[in-house]
A = this chain, B = another copy of it.
């Protein structure tokens, strides 16, 4: 019988996540109970949301306890099933755990049986066709109510979700501006993802830069970061503009001392709408979003940039690297199995 390697929480994360906040342990192979099925994990998706679960504080999901296995989206293959809807060999996306084998069931968060197309790499189903791509597509459409001709700004624009937001908005006929944290990323999002313009928030006055590029005003701000960039964007929004609150990375390492937002009067003055959203709420919209994204990817209309780390043991390092803001594109871990069978 195989063993089950797991990444557990060694200590609560207070500031930036460090590899030593995590530990590799080994447990017995889990056994699926009635209605459950066992997955062999193939890919883990590195996502900023995980940072919100490792600090011991309540959030929209319960905090992971010390010694608990880290929760995160994965793509895996069914190897044993006691569930009539999932057969051996099926490929499944769901919120599982960082481990070789996960027990899953019909009510798992984000659960989706994949039908990966032969001409699309399976890893794409973790990112551009998984949480990042569907979050971008659904956030823009269901929350942003995107329309052709609008001006869209997205932060963390070189990241997994941001790069998809920009490309999808372009495909919807919008003018797209990306906010990033380096000149290299600014060049990248224009060259590789086709953004109309890029702003480096570390060196530029974001409000002034946005207004210079978009004097017509911003119709949709897809916000992945919160903090000072959100505060700056409030001053550049168009009347009736919409802010899609997808994440607030700027505060994830400072939950005890979040960045102050001082420009909320613009919510009234410009009659803005700010709406937070989490992907599981829109699970019924995922199939259509994936179908459209698959079509665009196959047609070469969307560029997917991946950042793949090999080996389950390297997962904490991959996560910390992604959270540092140094990486671009979709960060994921390819699980190195079979390990010992």
Contact = CB atoms under 8 A, between A and B. Distances in A.
Contact of A274 (B246, B247, B273): B273
Given A245-B264, A269-B276, 7 more contacts: A52-B269, A60-B270, A246-B268, A247-B268, A259-B262, A271-B277, A273-B273
A292 interface: no
Contact of A262 (B246, B260, B271): B260
Interface of A: 52, 59-60, 226, 230, 245-248, 251, 255, 258-278, 281
Given A260-B260, A270-B60, A273-B273, A226 B265 contact: yes
12 contacts: A52-B269, A59-B269, A226-B265, A245-B264, A247-B268, A248-B264, A248-B265, A259-B262, A260-B260, A268-B277, A271-B277, A274-B275
Nearest to A248: B265
Contacts of A259: 262
Contact of A275 (B247, B261, B273): B273
Contact of A245 (B60, B255, B267): B267
Nearest to A275: B273
A262 B261 contact: yes
Contacts of A226: 264-265
A170 to B, nearest CB: 25
Contacts of A248: 264-265, 268
Nearest to A247: B268
A268 B246 CA distance: 6
Contacts of A272: 275-276
A51 to B, nearest CB: 12
